[in-house]
């Protein structure tokens, strides 16, 4: 399938309304019916204004984040239109990609309870 990789860049503490930008984006992605998003916590980065952002041992609020999605052209437009309409301050990259799934195996449903030792706690 042809589409786009959308990557949004923000910081852990950046807010839109009462939610973080990351929480807001993930909520809107679900509302739009887009399946699959990955959030990556980064150690450090330099923002568009040239300011250094980093995760510190006792303060993670300034930690850079990436929210990555593989979407169709229509999904990309709907999400970007929504971000624009809400006037969310966020940097993004849209890159054309091919994506899909390989294999016939249907993943089994994961347990809703997790343990540090790999066994279901429930």
Q: Is residue 18 in a domain?
A: yes
Q: Is residue 119 in a domain?
A: no
CA 122/CA 118 separation, integer angstroms? 12
Q: Is residue 111 in a domain?
A: no
Average pLDDT over residues 16-20: 91
Q: Is residue 103 in a domain?
A: no
pLDDT at 78 over 90: yes
Average pLDDT over residues 9-23: 89
Hey, what are 94's tokens? 């849209």
CA 25/CA 38 separation, integer angstroms? 11
pLDDT at 89 over 80: yes
| Mean pLDDT of the residues in the chain | 81
CA 27/CA 20 separation, integer angstroms? 11
CA 54/CA 44 separation, integer angstroms? 4
The total domain count for the chain is 1
Q: Is residue 65 in a domain?
A: yes
Domain that holds residue 8: 2-98
pLDDT at 33 over 90: yes
Tens digit of pLDDT for each residue in 39-73?
988 756 555 555 554 555 555 556 788 999 999 99
pLDDT at 103 over 80: yes
Can you give the CATH number for the domain in which 12 is found? 3.30.70.120
pLDDT at 93 over 70: yes
Q: Is residue 104 in a domain?
A: no
Average pLDDT over residues 63-84: 94
Q: What is the 3-state secondary structure (H, E, C) of 18-50?
A: CEEHHHHHHHHHHHCCCCCCEEEECCEEECCCC
| pTM value > 0.85 | no
Q: Is residue 34 in a domain?
A: yes
């Amino acid at each position: 399938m042809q589409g786009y990789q959308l990557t949004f860049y923000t910081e852990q503490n950046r807010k839109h309304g009462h939610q973080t930008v990351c929480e807001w984006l993930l909520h809107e992605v679900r509302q739009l019916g887009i399946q699959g998003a990955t959030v990556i916590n980064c150690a450090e980065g330099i923002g568009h204004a040239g300011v250094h952002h980093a995760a510190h041992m006792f303060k993670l609020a300034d930690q850079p984040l990436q929210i990555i999605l593989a979407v169709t052209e229509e999904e990309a437009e709907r999400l970007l239109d929504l971000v624009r309409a809400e006037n969310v301050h966020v940097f993004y990259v849209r890159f054309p990609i091919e994506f899909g799934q390989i294999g016939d195996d249907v993943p089994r449903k994961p347990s809703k309870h997790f343990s540090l030792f790999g066994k279901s706690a429930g």
